[in-house]
Amino acid sequence: MYKILIVDDDIDVVETIKNYLETEGHSVFAADNGKSALEIVAKENPGIVFLDIKMKGIDGLEVLKEIKATDKKTKVIMVSALLDLETRTKAQDMGCDAYIRKPFDLDDVDKALSAKINELISDPSILIVEDEKGQVDNIIDYLKERISAKFSYTLTGEEALEKIKDELYNIMIVDISLPGIDGFKVIKRAHEINPHIDVLITTGYTHNQVINEAVGNGVVDIMSKPLHLPVLEKKIMGFIQRRGFKSS
């Protein structure tokens, strides 16, 4: 079981998450402000933190920054109604590991917690969604010699969504131009199933509309085709190290 810290000035949110996590056997700490949260982090070194963004005094983004400066492998799950694109991007740049939007239910908490625990105890699971089998083989053959991870692939978006329903993937590499469901629709539906998956898109398009749509759909990074595999490796390793997987 894990040490978990809940930081929120809303006592109802704290009690809801705390009661649930304690029934699961975790050791749970709580703070209603940023200063107290950082004191608990320094003393107890929790592995996972549920953190509100908007608080009096030291806000959640500053707490996030301090936590990651102390130990980048601490999993920080932001819990807030303030998940606009600007705030989300800023939190992501500071190392936020996942998001839960208020109002939430316990299934949201359980999914986020399961995803972060999976990162602490295992190698990453990577799904490649690409309709060119030769490209898939090149990517997997190159990466599996250099990265400790579990690799899977599909040739269509529909197959990808079925796989995501059955297995917890941490990273997804998605081609935008797919037969049937296009890449953006795959990403949107994938995030509805697993909101904690990191997505890198590959595309032959470079115009701003594609970039803006990618960011709006929660894409972490973009690569232009033809792919340069050493660059892809570097980007995937960046995901892995930022998330603090066992293998990083």
Paired tokens of 230: 């050493």
pLDDT value for 41: 95
Tens digits of residue pLDDT in 225-246: 899 999 999 999 988 877 777 6
Set out the domains of the chain in order of their start, with CATH numbers: 3-121 (3.40.50.2300), 125-243 (3.40.50.2300)
Note the pTM of the prediction, 2 decimals.
Answer: 0.64
pLDDT value for 54: 87
Q: Is the peptide bond before 226 cis (omega within 30 degrees of 0)?
A: yes
Paired tokens of 95: 């190392």
Tens digits of residue pLDDT in 74-100: 999 998 887 677 777 788 888 888 888
pLDDT value for 37: 96
pLDDT over threshold 70, residue 173: yes
